[in-house]
Structure 1
Amino acid sequence: MSTIVLEFNELSPTLLDRFIAAGHLPNFKRLRNSALVAVTDAEEAAPNLEPWIQWVTAHTGLSYAEHGCFKLNDGAALSAPRIWDLVSRSGRTNWICGSMNAAVQAGFLGHFLPDPWATEPVSLPDGHFEPYTHLVRSYVQEHSAQPDVSPLDFARFGRFMLTHGLSAQSVLAAIAQLVQERADNVKWRRAMILDRLQWDLFRSIYRNEKPHFSTFFINSTAHFQHFHWREFEPELFGIQPSEQDFREHRDTVLEGYRNMDRLVGQALAMTGGDDNLVLLTALSQQPMLTHEEDGGRQIFRHRDIARLMAFAGVAPGWRYAPVMSQQFLLHFESEQAAITAAERIEALRLSDGRQPMWARREGLSLDAGCMVEQYPAKEIVVLSLAANEAVGFFDLFYPLEALRSGKHHPDGAFWIKGPGIQPRRLADRVSLRTVAPTLAELTGVEGQFSMRSILVSMPMEIAA
C-alpha cells in the first residue's frame, strides 16, 4: 500500500465544486465522488495567511504559533518532524517532490526534491536532481525575460529528463507552446509545461522506487489566480481588464484547473485499490477587491540586484538568493555588514518621500524587497544618500505581469480516497492541523499530535 498526496497549492474548494458542476473537471469529479471530502481551516489571517506557513502546518500538525515558520525558507531550520520523517523512522521510504518550505531530518529514507524557491535544503540523494533544480529555479525565482541559464544548462536538463520519465506528451506540449508563442507571444502556459515535466519526473521515480509515502507539489494555478482573477470574473472588479488582457486571460484560471484535472486522472490510473490518493491545497484564494479604489495592487521587482545594491551603497561581499515575486534574500559574512546593508536599503527614498524597500535582518541574512504596490508617476525617482544619486524608479524596478486580483483565503480542500474509506463529505470545516495526524493514520505511522485524525474524530454527512 502506498499514499500519494497531490499538493495543488491554493485551489479553491468553491471553484472545484463550481467547475465540476459545469463539467470541466471529470477527473476531480471521479476523485471527489470516491473520497472523504473535507474543507480545512488554516486558522490564520493576514499577514500569517501565507502558503509557506500553512504547508508547514499541514506537514507537521503544528500551528504557526508552534512552528514559527514565517518566511518561505524558515522551514529548513525547523526541528519538528514532518510526516515523511515519521515514515522514515518506521523503516519505509518516501518521495517528496517539491513540497513547499520543506526539509528532512537525519535518517530520511527516499528521494527529496525541495521546492523551487528553497535556498537551504539540498535534494536527496545528494546532488541527484541538480540538473533539474538549477534550470527550474532559474525560471521560477527570476521573473526577467532571460534567466541566467546557458545552452549547457539546457543540455544537462534534457539528458536528465530523458532518463527520468520524459513523456512524448510533454515534448509535444512544449513544441506546441513554442509554436503558439511565435504567433501570439502569450507565455503564461509555460507554467503548465513545467507541471507536465515535474509530473513526468514524479511518476518515473514513483514507479521505479515504489515509495510508501509521496507528495507532489505544483503552484501554477495559484499563480494564475493571483494575477488573472480579474479576467476570470471581471464583473466583480472596479478596474476592468483591457480588451487584450481579457482575450488572453479570461480562461487562464479555468485552464489551470483543467491542467491539474489531467494530472488527477493520471494519478487515479497510477494507484490501485489498496493505495491512498489524497488531494490537499492547504489554503485557497478569493477575489482581491480591497485595492480597486486606489488603482489596484501592482508588484514590482528589481531589474538588476548588483546595480540596486551598489546604488543603495551596500558593499560587495553578499550572496543573493531570489525567492518569490518581489522578495529576495541577501546573506553576509558578518552581522555588522548585514546591519549596515539593512540600514542603507531602508534609507532609500522616492522623490515623493515614500520608502521603496524593506530589509528585515535575521542574523547574517536580510529578507528584502520592493514595498511599492501602486504605479508611481513616470517622473518619480529613487534617491540614495549613500550614492548621492537619483535614478528613475522604472530604471531600478519593473512591474510583474498584471495587477494582483486574487488573495489568500483560509479554506482548503482535503480529499482522501483509500481502502475502507466511504465517500462522504464532512459537515463542518476541520483544522488544517488535522492533516498530519490523518496522514499518519493513513500511512500507519505514529507521531505526537495535538489534533486527532479526521478519519476517527469527526461526524460525517454523506455528500449530495
Structure 2
Amino acid sequence: MTKDVIVLEFNELTPSLVDRFIKMGKLPNFARLRQESLVAVTDAEEAPPALEPWIQWVTVHTGLSYAEHKVFDLGDGPKLSEPRIWDMVSDAGEKAWICGSMNAAVQGDRFNGLVLPDPWATDVKSQPAGLFEPYLDLVRTYVQEYTTSRPNVSKATMIRFARFMATNGLSTRTIFQAMRQLVGELSQPIQWRRATILDRLQWDIFRKFYRSERPVLSTFFLNSTAHFQHYFWRNLDPDAFAVTSDSETQQKYADAIPYGYEKMDEIIGEALALAGPQTSIVLCTALSQQPMLDHEDIGGKQIFKMHDAAAFFAFAGVPEGYTYAPVMAEQFHLIFDSEAAAGEAAERLRGVKLRDGTQVMMARNEGDRVFAGCDLVAHPVAGATILSTASNESPAFNAMFYPVEAVRSGMHHPDGMLWIRTPEHVHAKIDRRVSLREVAPTLLALTDIAPRHAFACPAMPELEWAKSVERKAA
C-alpha cells in the first residue's frame, strides 16, 4: 500500500492557546492528534521584518532560510527558482495536491498534480488549467475585500461558484453551517465568522480531490484563525492590554479566537477520518502569535485601507495602465508594463503626505511591480488632509482611507507547532526547538522519496528514532 502525507498548514496557530483550549475540553481532535504524534515546537530563526508567514512558508516548502530564498513579499513566491518539496514529488513520478499553500509556486509546465493557489497569488495559475477558477474568482474577492460588508461579486460569478462547488465536494455539513451563519447574521453581528465558512468550502474541495487523485503529498492551508488572533487577541485576554475594548466590541469578539480553533478542530477530526492506514498527518503552523503590546500608547495598531483605489491612485498621480492586486490587510501590488512606470508609481505613492509632512504610504518597486500600503498605524488628527505631488487638491484623509474595524492586538512569534502522526501513531514530545529548515526534508522523508539535492538541514533524527521504536514494537 502506497504511503502518503497530508500536511495541515494551519497558519500561525499558537502552542499555548492550543494547550489552553485542549485543557478546557474545546479541542478533542487536536488532543487526539497530539496524543498520536511526535510533538515539536519549531523555530522560524528570523526576527521582524523577516518574521512573516509568506516568508516562513517558503522556508517550510523548500528547506531554505530567508537569507537563501530571499522571498520577502506575499505574492513573490514564483520568483524563486529553487524546487519545493512537491516539485521533488512530481519529479519522482508521484502526484501532489497543493491546496491553498501560501506564496507557493511550481516548477515547469509538467507538474504532476493539482494546484489551487492562495487567494493572494497574482502569478500562480491553478492546475489543471482553469479547473479552480470558478472557486478562486469568488474567494479572492471575499478574502481581499474582507473589510467590506458587501464584496463586489457579480451574479454570474456566484452562479459559476455554486455550480463548481455542487460538483466538487460540497458537503451537507458545510451547507448547514453556511445557512446557520446567514440566519445568525440577521440578528447578531457575526459577519466575522464567514471566514470559517470559506475554510469549510476549501476543505470540501481538498477532500474531494484527495479521494479521487490519491496524491503522495497533499498540503491544505487555512488562515482564518491567524486573522482572528491578529485582530481579536485583546478580546480574548483583555487583562493583558493597557487599552481595552468598549463593552459592545468586547461582547462581539470575545469568543472569536476560540471559535476559530474549534472550527479547525472539526477539520482535524475529518482529516483523521480521511487518512488511510499508511497516511501520515502533519500539522504545521510555520510560526505563531503573541499579544501585541508595543502600540498601547496609541490605543493599538490601526490598519487603514483605501475607500476607492482607483480614485486614490489618480490623486497620487500613479501612471495609468496598471493591474491592481490587493493582498493582506492594507497591502497591495501594482503591476505595470515597464520598470520605469513602476518606479514612477512608487515615487508618486511615497509623495502622498499628511499636511504636517508625515508620509502616508509605504511603497517599493522591483522590476515592473510595486508593493505598497498605507503606512500609518494611528488615526491622524481630526480633520487631517493629505497632499500629493501630482494634485492641487487636498482631500481629507478620511475621505480617501477608512480604518479596519478592529485594531491589531496579535503579533508574530517565531515558535511554531509541528505535530507528526505517522501510520504507527507513536507519541513523543521533542524537547528541542526544531529549525523550520528541517520541515521540508522531514516531509519528503515521510513520503520515502529521495530529495533532488541535499538539504542544508537533514530530516529530523527523531523520525528515524520513531521508526526504530515502531519496528521493535512490531
**Common fold: TM-score over 0.5:** yes
Match of 2:403 in 1: 399
1:7-18 paired onto structure 2 within 5 Å: 7-18=9-20
| Amino acid in the other structure paired with 1:137 | R
| Offset at residue 314 of structure 1 (A) | 1.8
Match of 2:304 in 1: 300
Match of 2:124 in 1: 121
Deviation per residue, 1:175-208 (Å, 9 max, x gap): 1111111112320100000011000110011111
Q: Determine if the alignment matches structure 1 residue 449 to structure 2 residue 452.
A: no
Q: Is the 8 A contact 2:336 2:368 kept in 1?
A: yes
1:420-459 paired onto structure 2 within 5 Å: 420=424, 422-447=426-451, 448-456=454-462
Q: Determine if the alignment matches structure 1 residue 6 to structure 2 residue 8.
A: yes
- Pick closer, same or farther for the CA change 1:184–1:420 going to 2, 3 Å: closer
Q: Is the 8 A contact 1:38 1:414 kept in 2?
A: yes
The partner residue of 1:81 within 80, 83, 94 is: 83
Secondary structure of 2:365's counterpart equals: strand
Q: Determine if the alignment matches structure 1 residue 162 to structure 2 residue 158.
A: no
Q: Is the 8 A contact 1:227 1:406 kept in 2?
A: yes
Q: Is the 8 A contact 2:285 2:416 kept in 1?
A: yes
Secondary structure of 2:395's counterpart equals: strand
1:283-432 paired onto structure 2 within 5 Å: 283-420=287-424, 422-432=426-436
| Offset at residue 74 of structure 1 (A) | 1.4
TM, length-normalised to structure 2: 0.95
Secondary structure of 1:453's counterpart equals: coil
Q: Is the 8 A contact 1:427 1:459 kept in 2?
A: no
Q: Is the 8 A contact 2:38 2:428 kept in 1?
A: yes
Matched residues in 2 for 1:137 and 1:21: separation?
36
TM, length-normalised to structure 1: 0.97
Secondary structure of 1:104's counterpart equals: coil
Match of 2:113 in 1: 110
| Offset at residue 218 of structure 1 (A) | 0.4
| Offset at residue 446 of structure 1 (A) | 1.8
| Offset at residue 409 of structure 1 (A) | 0.3
Matched residues in 2 for 1:323 and 1:109: separation?
28
Match of 1:139 in 2: 142
| Offset at residue 146 of structure 1 (A) | 2.8
Match of 1:273 in 2: 277
Matched residues in 1 for 2:464 and 2:92: separation?
27
Q: Is the 8 A contact 2:319 2:344 kept in 1?
A: no
Matched residues in 2 for 1:65 and 1:109: separation?
29
**Structure 1, unaligned runs of 5 or more:** none
Q: Runs of 4+ in structure 1 displaced over 6 angstroms?
A: 457-460
Q: Is the 8 A contact 1:5 1:277 kept in 2?
A: yes
Secondary structure of 2:143's counterpart equals: helix
Secondary structure of 1:205's counterpart equals: helix
| Amino acid in the other structure paired with 2:399 | D
| Offset at residue 457 of structure 1 (A) | 7.5
Matched residues in 2 for 1:345 and 1:10: separation?
31
| Amino acid in the other structure paired with 2:116 | L
Matched residues in 2 for 1:368 and 1:458: separation?
45
Q: Is the 8 A contact 1:72 1:101 kept in 2?
A: yes
Matched residues in 2 for 1:385 and 1:76: separation?
34
Matched residues in 2 for 1:238 and 1:258: separation?
28
Deviation per residue, 1:206-249 (Å, 9 max, x gap): 11111111000000000000000000000000110110111111
Matched residues in 1 for 2:72 and 2:464: separation?
30
Deviation per residue, 1:396-454 (Å, 9 max, x gap): 11111211000000000000011345210101111000000100110111222011111
Deviation per residue, 1:142-193 (Å, 9 max, x gap): 2333322101100000000000010111111111111111112320100000
Q: Determine if the alignment matches structure 1 residue 28 to structure 2 residue 34.
A: no
| Offset at residue 455 of structure 1 (A) | 4.0
| Offset at residue 385 of structure 1 (A) | 2.9
Q: Is the 8 A contact 1:144 1:303 kept in 2?
A: no
Secondary structure of 1:429's counterpart equals: strand
Q: Determine if the alignment matches structure 1 residue 214 to structure 2 residue 218.
A: yes
Q: Determine if the alignment matches structure 1 residue 231 to structure 2 residue 251.
A: no
Secondary structure of 1:123's counterpart equals: coil
| Offset at residue 456 of structure 1 (A) | 4.4
Matched residues in 2 for 1:12 and 1:96: separation?
23
Q: Is the 8 A contact 2:11 2:222 kept in 1?
A: yes
Q: Determine if the alignment matches structure 1 residue 44 to structure 2 residue 46.
A: yes
Secondary structure of 2:180's counterpart equals: helix
Matched residues in 1 for 2:267 and 2:152: separation?
30
Matched residues in 2 for 1:457 and 1:171: separation?
39
How many pairs are equivalent?
Answer: 461
- Pick closer, same or farther for the CA change 1:266–1:455 going to 2, 3 Å: farther
Matched residues in 2 for 1:414 and 1:436: separation?
12
- More off after superposition, 190-199 vs 146-155: 146-155
- More off after superposition, 133-142 vs 375-384: 375-384
Secondary structure of 1:193's counterpart equals: helix
Q: Is the 8 A contact 2:234 2:241 kept in 1?
A: yes
Matched residues in 1 for 2:155 and 2:226: separation?
30
Q: Is the 8 A contact 2:42 2:415 kept in 1?
A: yes
- More off after superposition, 451-460 vs 135-144: 451-460
| Amino acid in the other structure paired with 2:118 | D
Matched residues in 1 for 2:166 and 2:463: separation?
46
Deviation per residue, 1:15-65 (Å, 9 max, x gap): 111211221110000000000001000000000000000000001000000
Secondary structure of 1:184's counterpart equals: coil
Deviation per residue, 1:247-299 (Å, 9 max, x gap): 11111101110000000000001112211011000000000011111221001
Matched residues in 2 for 1:360 and 1:343: separation?
8
| Offset at residue 459 of structure 1 (A) | 8.3
Q: Is the 8 A contact 2:189 2:252 kept in 1?
A: no
Match of 2:472 in 1: none
